Homo-oligomer: A and B are copies of this chain.
Amino acid sequence: MSLRTVLTIAGSDSGAGAGIQADLKTIAAHHCYGTSVITAITAQNTLGVQSVEGISPGMVAAQIDSVLDDIGADAIKTGMLFGEETIRAVVRSLEKRYGKAAQGGRDAAKLVLDPVCVSTSGHSLLPLDAVDSLRTELLPWATVVTPNIPEAEFLCGWNKGSIETVDDMKRCAAELAKKGVRWVYLKGGHMPLPKGDNGEKVVVDLLLDGESGEASMEERRFLDVKNTHGTGCTLAAAVASGLAHGKTVADAVSDAGDYVAAAIAASYPVGRGAGPVNHFHSLMPRSLPLPNHHSPTPFTDYLIRASGDAWTRYVNHEFPNSLAAGTAKLEAFLHFIQQDYHFLKQYARSNSLAAYKTEDMALMAGSNLIVDDVIKETEMHVKYCETYGISRDQLQAVPESVTNIAYTRYVLDVSARGDLLDARVVTAPCLIGYGHVGARLLSSTPGVTVNSNPDLNPYWGWIREYGGEWYQGCVKSGIELLEQTLAKSPVSAQRLDELARIFTKATELEIAFWDAAVEAGKKTRDEVMRHEGLPV
């Protein structure tokens, strides 16, 4: 994966609501990689600009070179440029890289020029003599210039307050376009216009095509709100990000306008004055990291970690240990294997229900494969039982125990009421846990007695089945399916919590299932039957 890059050339705002700070946040929110060239440092907060210190024009040029020589830029945005010499340094750097503006340089640079002259709080950010350089030298480099009404008047040399109507906006934009800029986006935020009779006001933003002379307008509801610090920077950076993504200018400004409107509406209180907008309103926390080198199966790992102690007790349970050692009572094993046969029937139904829950044929095929494997597994159970003289018919006739019903109907209910992901998660502890147990006992764990001589240990076949290649392959593809299902549609943190609770509950029901087998080995057949709510 590679990212589009956007370079901002602007001042630094210590309060981080405007300047390169606002630009970098905006660029990041648009999934681009932002770089920054600082032209001046301001000591600034939501109440105003307390102090300004310029960076030397040579250092501005050095920063531009460092960025463009290595990282490059799919679009560039300029904001506060501090002074005439800085503007000249920027223009020289652009010429060095892209040639003359009029000879293809302008179109190659994709420059969005935010003509910052005065801060929202009223502080002058560009000396008068620099305005001329901006007009004559930098404007011809701009793909889009994004003035507000006072800036547009200022750049055209009109008196303050000359623009009073949308027609005035059009005339002013047309005059600006003559200076060589390709598109003029004149923002009407300073001129709210009444709309209808209910006191509602709207603002009109105007986009003028410098080549055809055609203008288009967009209207948005005017909100008389306090937190508008840095909206100009934010808008221009959003336009530049749009251009970097290859959007047309018309789409880039329209989307940027929506982004800023939502960012203003979603702002939170910061400082005592005009606060910043909320640049990250369009992002939310990812509830789980994407699979990576550190963690190739983050969802599975999360579920296991979240089930904590229950998982440890499950995969280290005394019952499978007693099978590995060959010390399990035959009554325990027979109770287990017969109930497990009936468990698997409902487990297969639950996986079929998972297949019903999707219209994605690959995910459906994944579920179907699990059902096939479960059917194979039940046939192995039939063979075990036959070894001990229990026929297929007798096995079929064994009633389901209370523990078995609790577990299987919980699995079916979760699968029925939830979506595909719920169905996958509730069936995961069985699939993955038996894999862990089989692998652990086959490779012999310190502290666990293992008797791997099939002549001496009648249960060794069971260990070999779950630790062996076939079942381990099932586990691997089951985990992949689980990870894919989540990766195809990531979920919120709340939903993840819910899924972890389901996984933990199913794990606890696995423990109860094995506990019941151990109990069966300690009791007479009648006691077992009574304990499990079955007819004696």
**Which of B25, B43, B271, B422 makes the CB contact (< 8 A) with A62?**
B43
Interface size in chain A (residues, C-beta < 8 A): 80
Contact check, A56 vs B53: say whether CB atoms are below 8 A apart.
yes
Q: Does A467 contact B (CB under 8 A)?
A: no
**Which of B1, B46, B283, B294 makes the CB contact (< 8 A) with A71?**
B46
Across-interface contacts of A282 in B (CB, < 8 A): 285-286, 289
**Which of B43, B223, B269 makes the CB contact (< 8 A) with A59?**
B43
Q: Does A38 contact B (CB under 8 A)?
A: yes
Q: Does A248 contact B (CB under 8 A)?
A: no
Q: How far is the CA of A178 from the CA of B283 in the complex (A)?
A: 43
**Which of B41, B66, B286 makes the CB contact (< 8 A) with A43?**
B66
Contact check, A357 vs B418: say whether CB atoms are below 8 A apart.
yes
Q: How far is the CA of A14 from the CA of B12 in the complex (A)?
A: 12
Q: How far is the CA of A283 from the CA of B287 in the complex (A)?
A: 8
Q: How far is the CA of A1 from the CA of B34 in the complex (A)?
A: 28
Other A-B pairs beyond A51-B59, A71-B270, A283-B286, 20, CB < 8 Å: A3-B270, A14-B66, A15-B70, A15-B71, A16-B33, A21-B36, A24-B25, A25-B28, A43-B62, A45-B70, A50-B62, A50-B65, A51-B66, A70-B273, A221-B294, A223-B294, A265-B289, A284-B285, A284-B490, A357-B417
Q: Per-position contact with B for A277-293: 1 when CB-CB < 8 Å, else 0?
A: 00111111110011011
Contact check, B53 vs A71: say whether CB atoms are below 8 A apart.
no
CB distance from A452 to the nearest CB of B (A): 24
Q: Does A109 contact B (CB under 8 A)?
A: no
Q: How far is the CA of A468 from the CA of B505 in the complex (A)?
A: 47
Q: Does A44 contact B (CB under 8 A)?
A: yes
CB distance from A60 to the nearest CB of B (A): 9
Q: Does A247 contact B (CB under 8 A)?
A: no
CB distance from A481 to the nearest CB of B (A): 17
Across-interface contacts of A280 in B (CB, < 8 A): 28, 283
Q: Does A47 contact B (CB under 8 A)?
A: yes
Contact check, B37 vs A71: say whether CB atoms are below 8 A apart.
no
Query: Chain B CB within 10 Å — which of A43, A53, A488 has the most?
Result: A43
Interchain Cβ contacts under 8 Å between A and B, 27 examples = A12-B36, A14-B35, A15-B35, A16-B35, A21-B34, A21-B36, A28-B279, A43-B65, A46-B70, A50-B65, A50-B66, A51-B66, A53-B56, A71-B270, A221-B294, A262-B292, A262-B295, A265-B289, A265-B293, A266-B289, A266-B290, A282-B285, A282-B286, A283-B285, A357-B417, A357-B418, A416-B416
